[in-house]
A and B are shown apart, each in its own frame.
Chain A
Amino acid sequence: MALKTKSHDLGMHTERLRGRTQQRFFNPSEDENFVYHDSFTVDFNKRAEFDAGPLEAQAINLKIRELMSQGYGSINIKNPGAKHGLGVGILNRLNLTFEGSLGYFGCGLIDGPNVRITGRVGWSCAENMMAGTLVIENNAGSTFGAAMRGGDLVCKGDVGARVGIDQKGGTILIGGRAGAFCGFMMQRGRMVILGDAGKNLGDSMYDGTIYVGGKIDGLGVDAVPGEMNDLDVAWLERKLKLYGLETPRGVKNMTKIVAGKQLWNYDNLEPSEKKLVL
């Protein structure tokens, strides 16, 4: 019971989360969905490296797949050249490094790999990410982590607008500033913005928690300040330390934003009517 209270305090819930790694974590006895059709068993000590410079995006993804099928568990890719759709749909454990930048839709639909990108990512990075870690050393474009379901998504620089739109789980960590409409229709999970946040933060969010270290341009409909408690502080300190991030004013002085639960917690009013009331 205490555990349930803790998870609720932290914006998490007791529902079973989708995704292989998530499911294993929350319910180890659950065998369902444990085997993906396109997943591979790999050895982290088996290493490979290739130059993506002369290759098209599809060829790069096929090369990753080929290496995984041969059991390579640590893959280093040079010169990705900001190409679109790289590293998508990886459904098994893997240490993957891109030495450079990715274009749009990088690392979408991943479930399990640990990915490091030394450059920048374009729009919609880690869309529908289900599990694993993804660390970007530079900046990221808009719709970062859209519809994300699990895992840790980290950008150490600045990020564009609509971060975590429709976020359904997992953690998004941003070392710098984020644009407008972050957390729009967020449903679950946690988002941490260490710099400033743009306007309409958390607009129409159902649930989940947003922490902001800097200034907030404005809150969206039904996003309200929450009270920081010891669990929040402990979790933030642990998580920031894990990825080498710091907030200038200290974790205790961060602002916590949660759902007011007036808009989507249904009563007799239609959402449009509720908006008018709010």
Chain B
Amino acid sequence: MCGIAGLIHRGGKTADVGREMTAMLQSLKHRGPDSTGFALYGKPDKNKLVLRFKVAEQEDIAKGFKIHHEIKERRAEVNRRIEQLGGKIEDEKEATEYAFRYVVSYDGDRRALADFVEDVEGAEFLSIGHGLELIKDLGDANRVSTQYGLPGFIGTHGIGHTRMATESDVDIRSAHPYWAYPFADVSVVHNGQLTNYWNGRRALERRGHRFMSNCDSELIAVYLADKMEEGAELQDAMKESIRELDGVFTYLVATADRLGMAKDEMAAKPMVLYESDDFIGLASEEVAIRSVFPHEIHTFDPYEGEVRVWKA
């Protein structure tokens, strides 16, 4: 089933999007209790990159004492590789024992950075961005949010996902959102199934893109990244996706200053939309929007094949 949600404060306004997204996703827990993920957008700093990455899975921690030592070794190797490519680590925090948040000065090729660092065993970038911070882990929204200290995250917008694992494993790698490698600040959450996943994946792999999971939702992120790499605007890439991606889906995509939604031609997956001059809220169920706006609001369902994009 899965639940997705997103919000954007318009006109450059900021708010505690960490707390708002936590409330929205917690109210969608019944749609997917396996894992929860957030893509939150703070004020972008053009001179710095925020790296969110992990060097192990949560389940690895339970497998023995050796992993603790390995995590330290892997992290040291990640640091060495970032510096080898000319990056300067300005700040580093442990979100959990196996997941980290770095602020880095780096003006080189992001794809080269991602590829080089992800060569370290267990290492995977959850996101690279100037404003984006992508957090995902096993458990419900309250648990993940508390674990990673998300309440108090001030930003303009965010998207999130509660996952009920169907076609792939219950692990962080298969959790949403997906970062649209190698684009900074682009993330995707998805509710549905893609039936041409393997064909699409093979085609994109031949074009040099990498996939970190076997989850069909990752295809959307990489697909959009590929289109934008060719110069397409976000909205055009999304419209093209409606035609080229096969299956039933509703997805949300966010960039540094935009939030978008797309619904397949069958309109088989739900989405409720609340739109005002100051705020846009979207979710699989209205209860999620009500967790931010408890009073009566005017909401509606977007239609089949519909693509919308809003600016912060």
Tell me the A residues contacting B by CB distance below 8 Å: 81-84, 100-101, 103-104, 119-120, 122-123, 138-139, 141-142, 157-162, 177, 179-181, 198-199
Contacts and interface: CB of A to CB of B under 8 A. Distances in A.
B268 to A, nearest CB: 8
Contact of A139 (B265, B267, B299): B299
B304 A199 contact: yes
Contacts of A101: 286, 296, 299
A104 B28 CA distance: 13
A142 B290 contact: no
Contacts of A198: 303-304
Contacts of B268: 161
B266 interface: yes
Given A141-B272, A160-B267, A82 B290 contact: yes
Contact of A103 (B285, B294, B298): B285
26 contacts: A81-B290, A81-B294, A82-B285, A82-B290, A84-B285, A101-B286, A101-B296, A101-B299, A103-B286, A103-B287, A119-B296, A122-B286, A141-B270, A141-B301, A142-B270, A142-B301, A157-B300, A159-B301, A160-B303, A161-B266, A161-B301, A161-B303, A162-B267, A177-B303, A179-B301, A198-B304
Contacts of A83: 287
Contacts of B303: 160-161, 177, 179-180, 198
Contacts of B299: 101, 120, 139
Given A81-B290, A141-B270, 10 more contacts: A101-B296, A103-B287, A119-B296, A123-B270, A141-B301, A142-B301, A160-B303, A161-B303, A180-B265, A180-B304
A139 B300 contact: yes
Q: With a 10 A CB-CB cut-off, give which of B266, B286, B289 has the most chain A CB atoms.
A: B286
B300 A84 contact: no
Contacts of B300: 120, 139, 157-158
A55 to B, nearest CB: 14
Interface residues of B, number: 19
Interface in B259-312: 265-268, 270, 272, 285-287, 289-290, 294, 296, 298-301, 303-304
Contact of A120 (B265, B286, B304): B286
A138 B36 CA distance: 32
Contacts of B265: 180
Contacts of B290: 81-82
Contacts of A180: 265-267, 303-304
A198 B263 CA distance: 14
Nearest to A176: B300
Q: Which 10 A-B pairs have the closest CB atoms?
A: A82-B286, A160-B301, A161-B267, A180-B304, A139-B300, A179-B303, A141-B301, A82-B287, A82-B290, A100-B296
A30 to B, nearest CB: 40
Contact of B287 (A84, A119, A157, A162): A84
Q: With a 10 A CB-CB cut-off, give which of A103, A120, A157 has the most chain B CB atoms.
A: A120
Contacts of A103: 285-287
B125 to A, nearest CB: 36
Given A179-B303, A179-B304, A198-B304, A122 B285 contact: yes
A144 to B, nearest CB: 10
A181 B266 CA distance: 8
B296 A122 contact: no
B29 to A, nearest CB: 13
B208 to A, nearest CB: 37
A81 B286 CA distance: 9
Contacts of A162: 267
B294 to A, nearest CB: 7
A161 B304 contact: yes
Contacts of B285: 82, 84, 103-104, 122
Nearest to B288: A82
Contacts of B304: 161, 179-180, 198-199
Nearest to A180: B304
